[in-house]
């Protein structure tokens, strides 16, 4: 049987040390010539590199430890990428961090970390790499946003705001790049099993979303790549979550606001008792 897989050339994936990013690396591995894996935990990236090379010996894999919340580290990363991997065809902005707190109680250092990683790094990497894609008339940007960036939810204002940025940025970038042959796809996952919730301080999920909506990181990555290859503007991975998000316009904003405020009131009361 012949396989008709796309060759995406050189693919840079941020946040490849765990969760969705790790699975995206596994998915892209059979469809790329070079993978550039980026995250802070180099040991995890090296482990993934060894695993993927075992399966795809011809694949070139460059693992680069970088703290994406630091603008200067991103500059150093870009210089290393150009030297060790050459031009990037596909940029996957996946790395992200969350928090769980009413904003008046949120820690500023944590908030700043979220904004730098989820917003500034996405903009800086895209700014540095997208012009080359347009010039070569090839490639694309795959942004991992969140369904939280399309709804009104309490208890994670900086994170949710950062994902509203990813949503607006992806849509506007896609419009800007019309006719250039460069694809821009935004993935808006719901709850995905990964290290994310634990690190964001809410092991049960940001708002305790029902289990029916939860999918694996592998499923999320598979559907993300399928949507990207079809040139989709937006992907909602997982059948139940997709259904929910497509029904969202039926719930007027005032209703979403009211529900979010009621939940915040309950959380505030619970936290102060
Ligand atoms: N899980 C969910 O329910 C869910 C839902 C909607 C959207 N998302 C989005 O999906 C994306 C991936 O999340 P995930 O669920 O796979 O979470 P995860 O397992 O916690 O993975 C997050 C990745 O981001 C990297 N990262 C975090 N801060 C970084 C920094 N300052 N510099 C470099 N890398 C950094 C982490 O690597 P190091 O720690 O090694 O640096 C890790 O590889 C995020 O953008 C998240 O907002 C997740």
pLDDT in tens for each of the 273 residues of the chain?
A: 445 788 999 999 999 999 999 999 999 999 999 999 999 999 999 999 999 999 999 999 999 999 999 999 999 999 999 999 999 999 999 999 999 999 999 999 999 999 999 999 999 999 999 999 999 999 999 999 999 999 999 999 999 999 999 999 999 999 999 999 999 999 999 999 999 988 888 766 665 678 899 999 999 999 999 999 999 999 999 999 999 999 999 999 999 999 999 999 999 999 875
Q: Is the CB of 21 under 6 A from ligand 1?
A: yes
Distance 152 CA to ligand 1 centre (A): 21
How do the domains of the chain map onto residue ranges?
10-240+250-272
Q: Is the CB of 195 under 6 A from ligand 1?
A: yes
Question: Domain 10-240+250-272's class?
Answer: alpha beta
Instruction: Give pTM, 2 decimals.
Output: 0.96
* Ramachandran quadrant class, 151 (left: phi over 0; alpha: psi -120 to 50; beta: rest): beta
Give the residue among 13, 248, 19, 257 at the shortest CA–CA distance from 147.
248
CA distances 215 to 160, 220, 256, Å, are: 20, 7, 24
Alpha helices in the chain (DSSP H): 19-29, 42-55, 71-84, 108-115, 121-136, 157-176, 196-199, 217-229, 239-247, 253-272
Give the residue among 13, 171, 149 at the shortest CA–CA distance from 89.
13
Q: Is the CB of 143 under 6 A from ligand 1?
A: no
Structure-token pair, residue 95: 């790395």
Q: Residue 175: CB partners within 8 Å, gap ≥ 6?
A: none
Q: Which residues of 151-185 are buried (b: 16+ CB within 10 A; e: fewer)?
A: bbbbbbbbbbbbbbbbbebbeebbeebeebebbbb
């Amino acid at each position: 049987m012949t396989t008709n897989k796309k060759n995406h050339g050189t693919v840079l994936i941020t946040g490849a040390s765990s969760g969705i990013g790790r699975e995206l690396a596994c998915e892209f591995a059979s469809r790329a010539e070079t993978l550039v894996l980026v995250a802070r935990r180099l040991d995890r990236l090296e482990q993934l590199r060894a695993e993927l090379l075992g399966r795809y010996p011809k694949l070139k894999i460059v693992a680069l430890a970088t703290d994406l919340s630091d603008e200067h580290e991103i500059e150093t990363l870009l210089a290393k990428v150009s030297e060790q991997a050459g031009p990037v065809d596909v940029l996957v902005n996946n790395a992200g961090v969350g928090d769980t707190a009413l904003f008046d109680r949120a820690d500023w250092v944590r908030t700043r970390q979220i904004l730098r990683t989820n917003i500034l790094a996405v903009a800086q990497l895209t700014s540095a790499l997208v012009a080359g894609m347009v010039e070569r008339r090839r490639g694309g940007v795959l942004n991992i946003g969140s369904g939280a960036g399309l709804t009104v939810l309490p208890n994670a204002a900086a994170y949710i705001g950062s994902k509203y940025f990813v949503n607006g940025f992806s849509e506007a970038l896609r419009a800007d790049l019309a006719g250039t042959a460069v694809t821009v796809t935004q993935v808006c996952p719901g709850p995905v099993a990964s290290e994310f919730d634990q690190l964001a301080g809410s092991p049960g999920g940001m708002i305790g979303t029902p289990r029916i909506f939860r999918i694996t990181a592998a499923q999320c990555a598979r559907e993300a790549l399928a949507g990207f290859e079809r040139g989709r503007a937006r992907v909602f991975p997982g059948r139940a979550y997709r259904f929910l998000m497509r029904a969202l316009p039926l719930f007027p904003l005032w209703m979403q606001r009211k529900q979010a405020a009621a939940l915040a009131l309950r959380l505030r009361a619970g936290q102060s008792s």
